[in-house]
Amino acid sequence: GTLTSTRTFRIDCSNSAGSDFDTVTVTVGNQTQLPSVDISASPMNINAGSSSTISWTSQNATLCVANTPNFPGGSSQATSGSFNSGDLQNNTTYRITCYNAAEQSDDDSVTVTVNSQVTLPDVDLSTTDASINSGQTTTLIWTVQNASTCTTSGDWSGNVSASGGSTVVGPLFSNKTYNIRCFNSDGEDTDSQTITVGISGQGPDVTTRSATNIDKDEATLRGDVDGNGLSTEVRFEYGRDRDDVEDGDAEDETSWQSTGSGFEDFDDQTDDNLRPDTTYYFRAVARNSRGTDEGSVLSFRTDDDNDNNGDDPSVTIRANPSHVNSGQSSTITWDPSSNTDSCRASGGANSWSGSKSRNGGSQSSGPLFNNTTFSITCENEDGSDTASTTVTVDNFVPNQNRPTVILSADQTSLAYNGATFVRWSTIGATSCQASGGSVGWAGTKSIGPGSFYTGSLSSSRTYTLTCYNSTGSDTDSVTISVRQPPTGGPTPPPASSLVLVTSSIDRNQPILPTLDNTRPRPGDEITYTVNYQNIGTGAIRNLVLRLDLPYEVVYLYSTPSNPIISGNTLIFNLGTLAANGSGTVTVRVRVREDAPPGALLNFPAVLSYTDPAGFPQTVTANVSAQVWNMQPEVIQDTTNLLGAAAFLSGGFWPTSLFGWLLLIILILLLILLAKYLMGGGQPFEGKTTTTTIQH
């Protein structure tokens, strides 16, 4: 039979004579072990585009061979190993066979099942501002991918676009939560957004104002604050190092004091241990439950004699409110220190820029449609100070239909006989009509921007402007109040300044030097001169000279040589003119070759400036010339010509002494007439116009 181990066999034999035996051993060698192999996948089920790890182990094998082409490295494989399948899109089978030395074999296989592609929807809900003030609006924005339907719930309802979109919600007066749910055949996705509605979307707004009551060892610090509806506390930080104050490390500070929740002015006294004749820096600080705000750093200088002489000026500026909706206005208030000589505004909108009262004041910003910064600089002989404030504009909605009119005045409250400028601008207007106001205001106006000088006013006036386009009209008005003089007293005189402006023209005649100065020919050059003089007792500032050249001339050069040029308009910024000071501006122009004969050339000059009282003023002058008419009209009488010819013919010579005398007289008259016509009369050396205005 089959042997599985070594065996010894013995046989015994016997007869009557005896017995015998023998043995034989059959040696059985070691048994050959069969190979085995096991292959697996982890995981065995995956989604399309995912991967799996393929692993195998074997026993009693000396060689393994891959039976499918998806093994790395080809068909020959180690007796054990593993590899990553990579991204799979379909079901995939892996088979391997392993052999022993006797070429006995075993094989195994594994199949990775790939699930079909699942595309789930994705939705994201966001907002342009998740924290707003009560009564404001915000915009919800949803972005969607792979969805067929989207529905809403919470504080909105209904279906919305499965392609994404946005919508404005509000005005809101309490917290709101908005939910969105988007579907497709494979599943769904949801998102939500909560809008927090507070009493105020801002912390407090605080402004540092100039110090007052400055002595040699103490001062009163001032400021104003808007708590934006929340209970607010304020204090001042001050010291001798500006950087320390700005960094919140000031030498000293006042105690916190409550100012309520609205807009309030506040002040506090420094300790009475300040050093004399020393510069101190300070700022106002406000805090409430929404945050902390610091005002600008200002300064003051203590005196050694309690008079506070020789200090730089200071100025503060604030906007109330500091946040408005598109198209609304704010009141801009500036507050200079008492030692200020003059103030000038810049930036802003709606005629904010320009001279401002050194005593402080308020002005409407006019309708605002973008965030706008208003700045003001005040100065005296020792220095200057600049402050600014920004009005934030929310909820911009462009008006594409009816026009918008913006009318304002540089000053809305004047002393008796005071004057100011009314300014306007429009949006979408095609024509404008003015009414009311002072002399010269009523009638057709440009769509702007434009300005109108009121002249001296002795009573309050209301200026109204209505502008139109094809879809409608809009009207705005501004009232200028005039303070009456004290009862029974004399009428106060106007501001003390007297300005003279003189303009003239002088023509260079390189071709025909005998021609009249005020009658240039095409191609001639003209020197246009404007002289100005201040014979008053005070300096005038911010001098600006505007020259409007006629269309028929071309600008060549000028002295000063740096005017602002816009078309045929030249603007010279002349700075400050001291009392009894004077100046000259000259402009060289050439008459165009195509200038029509007989064309009237007007050269108007407008000089604007700020008088010693801080009020804007304007002086004008004009001079004119006329293009030479090279083809004067001549009316010919053929009868007279024939008579003259006949007179000079032989049949009409005089036959008496009286006749000869008449002929001689006639010849002398003709010679004088010819000389006069050919000489052109006595030339004019120039034309001068002088305008004087007393302030």
| Mean pLDDT for the stretch of residues 378-392 | 84
Q: How many residues can be counted in the chain?
A: 695
Q: pLDDT-derived band of residue 398, with 50, 70 and 90 as boundaries?
A: very low
- Closest residue by Cα to residue 169 from 142, 188, 147: 142
Q: Which of the residue ranges 32-46, 68-82, 467-481, 670-684 would you say has the lowest mean pLDDT?
A: 670-684
Secondary structure (3-state) at 665:
helix
At 34, give phi and psi (nearest 5°): -75, 140
C-alpha closest to that of 375 among 397, 352, 398: 352
Considering just the CA atoms, what is the radius of gyration of the chain in Å?
50
| Residue 536, pLDDT above cutoff 70 | no
Predicted confidence (pLDDT) at residue 576 exceeds the cutoff of 70: yes
| CA angle (242 as vertex; 239, 248 as ends), nearest 5 | 75
Listed in sequence order, the residues at least 6 apart from 539 whose beta carbon sits closer than 8 Å to its beta carbon are: 576, 577, 578, 579, 581, 612
- pLDDT category at 492 given cuts 50, 70, 90 is very low
Distance CA 214, CA 503 (A): 50
DSSP H or E stretch at residue 191: strand 187-198
Q: Which pLDDT belongs to residue 183?
A: 92
| pLDDT tens digits for range 11-46 | 989 888 888 889 988 887 667 789 999 999 999 999
3-state helix, strand, coil in the chain (%, to 5): 5, 50, 40
Strands 472-482, 413-414: pairing kind: parallel
Domain chopping of the chain, boundaries: 1-117, 122-198, 202-306, 312-395, 399-486, 498-626
CA distance 225 to 286: 7
Token pair for 313: 């000026």
**Token pair in block for residue 321:** 């409110």
Tell me what the mean pLDDT of segment 516-545 comes to: 78
N-terminal to C-terminal alpha carbon distance within the chain: 147
- As assigned by CATH, the class of the 312-395 domain is mainly beta
pTM: 0.26
Closest-CA residue to 520 (of 624, 415, 430): 624
| Measured distance CA(172)–CA(134) in Å, rounded | 6
Q: What does the alpha-carbon distance between residue 598 and residue 633 come to, in Å, rounded to a whole number?
A: 12
Give the mean pLDDT of 190-200: 83
Nearest Cα to Cα of residue 343 among 297, 375, 299: 375
82 Cβ contact partners less than 8 Å away, ≥ 6 residues apart: 53, 54, 55, 56
Average pLDDT over residues 121-132: 91
Q: How far is CA 135 from CA 260, 263, 313, 368, 395, in A?
A: 21, 19, 41, 19, 12
497 has a pLDDT exceeding 80: no
pLDDT in tens, 219-246: 999 999 988 878 899 999 999 998 899 9
pLDDT at 429: 86
Burial of 236 (0-12, 13-18, 19+ CB in 10 A): buried
What distance lies between CA 120 and its chain's CA centroid? 44
Which among 372, 311, 321 is positioned nearest to 345, based on CA atoms? 372
How many Å apart are CA 204 and CA 193, to the nearest integer?
27
Evaluate if residue 395 carries a pLDDT over 50: yes
202-306 is classed CATH 1.10.600.10: no
Pull the structure tokens for residue 669: 């008259």
**Averaged pLDDT of the chain:** 81
Q: How far is CA 461 from CA 420, 422, 425, 482, 526, in A?
A: 12, 11, 20, 8, 43
Confirm if 155 and 175 have CB atoms less than 8 A apart. no
Assign a CATH topology to domain 122-198.
Immunoglobulin-like (2.60.40)
Fold agreement (1-117, 399-486)? yes
Q: Which pLDDT band, with edges at 50, 70 and 90, does 258 fall under?
A: very high
206: closest CA among 191, 188, 221, 192? 221
pLDDT at residue 313 in the model: 83
Dist CA 311 CA 300 (whole Å): 7
Confidence class for position 268, pLDDT limits 50, 70, 90:
very high
**CATH code 3.40.50.150 for 399-486:** no
Across 285-309, average pLDDT? 79
Cα 613 to Cα 626: distance, rounded to the nearest angstrom: 41
Pick the range with the lowest mean pLDDT from 86-95, 205-214, 393-402, 628-637: 628-637
Any bridge partners for residue 139, and if so which?
A: 168
Section 661-681 average pLDDT: 73
* Residue 310: pLDDT over 60: no
- Cα gap 296→206, rounded to integer Å: 9
Q: Which residue has the higher pLDDT, 649 or 677?
A: 677
Confidence of residue 491 (pLDDT cuts 50, 70, 90): very low
Range from 279-288, 349-358, 417-426, 510-519 carrying the lowest mean pLDDT: 510-519
Q: Is the bond into 43 cis (omega within 30 degrees of 0)? A: yes
Topology (CATH level 3) of domain 498-626: Immunoglobulin-like (2.60.40)
Average pLDDT of span 79-90 = 91
Q: Which of 186-200, 429-443, 530-544 has the lowest mean pLDDT?
A: 530-544
Q: What's the confidence (pLDDT) of residue 597?
A: 83
How far apart CA 611 and CA 539 sit, in angstroms, is 7
Q: What is the pLDDT of residues 208-222, one digit of tens each?
A: 998 888 888 889 999
Q: Classify strands 354-356 and 361-364 as parallel, antiparallel or unpaired.
A: unpaired
Between the alpha carbon of residue 18 and those of residues 11, 13, 22, 215, 635, the distances in Å are 15, 9, 15, 157, 192
User: Mean pLDDT, to the nearest integer, of 306-310?
Assistant: 49
CATH of 1-117, one of 3.40.50.11540, 3.10.20.30, 2.40.40.20, 2.60.40.10: 2.60.40.10
Where residue 160 falls among pLDDT bands split at 50, 70, 90? Answer: very high
* Residue 9 clears pLDDT 60, i.e. is over it: yes
